[in-house]
């Protein structure tokens, strides 16, 4: 049996079930629209891949690489966008896929950046939401799970680039 790291918060099976539900909801909401799914890397890679497969409508995919933590367990507050989009999102329906809503700084920066590109609509989908984002200026339309106010790893979330590979979400505390 594989050794469990950390205190499990969300199991692999719970994620599979919830992501299927989110995929159906997103497909219903965006049916007949010109959807572009934008993943925030590296943290959202596992969630993004599973979510994209669960959305059963035509869509385009793209990614942004962003950093704000470095090797720390607390955000630096400085959001750095490392890559540019390859898709033109003007007039498109954009769904930004994020791993976790924490402080809200990263999402504020990305939503402002993407909003300047004149999409028809721009919404957020997050695997986890801590509900502590006092600085977040945007609503999160789709939420996988409410998350405790703890440092979480696994399923794409990391600590100093470690633990992204875990097939579940665990607390480092």
Quick check: is 102 catalytic?
A: yes
* Catalytic residue from among 93, 99, 102, 158: 102
Question: How far apart, in whole angstroms, are the C-alpha atoms of residue 96 and residue 51?
Answer: 12
Burial of 39 (0-12, 13-18, 19+ CB in 10 A): buried
Question: How far apart, in whole angstroms, are the C-alpha atoms of residue 105 and residue 128?
Answer: 15
Question: How far apart, in whole angstroms, are the C-alpha atoms of residue 83 and residue 115?
Answer: 17
Contact 91, 34 (CB under 8 A): yes
- Orientation angle between helical segments 12-29 and 45-54, nearest 10 degrees: 50
Sequence-ordered list of residues with C-beta below 8 angstroms from that of 170, at least 6 positions apart, any chain: 4, 5, 6, 7, 8, 9, 152, 153, 154, 163
**Neighbouring C-beta atoms of residue 69, cutoff 10 Å:** 19
- The set of catalytic residues is 102
């Amino acid at each position: 049996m594989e050794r469990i790291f950390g205190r499990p918060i969300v199991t692999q099976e719970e994620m599979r079930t919830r992501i299927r539900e989110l995929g159906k909801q997103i497909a219903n909401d965006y049916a007949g629209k010109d959807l572009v799914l934008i993943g925030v890397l590296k943290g959202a890679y596992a969630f993004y891949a599973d979510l994209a497969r669960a959305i059963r409508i035509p869509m385009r995919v793209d990614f942004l690489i962003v950093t704000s933590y470095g090797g720390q367990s607390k955000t630096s507050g400085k959001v750095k966008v490392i890559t540019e989009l390859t898709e033109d999102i003007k007039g498109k329906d954009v769904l930004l896929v994020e791993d976790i809503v924490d402080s809200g700084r990263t999402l504020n920066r990305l939503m402002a950046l993407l909003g300047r590109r004149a999409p028809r609509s721009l919404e957020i989908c997050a695997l986890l939401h801590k509900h502590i984002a006092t600085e977040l200026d945007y609503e999160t339309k789709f939420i996988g799970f409410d998350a405790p106010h703890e440092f979480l790893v696994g399923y794409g979330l990391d600590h100093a680039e470690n633990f992204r590979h875990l097939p579940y979400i665990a607390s480092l505390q």
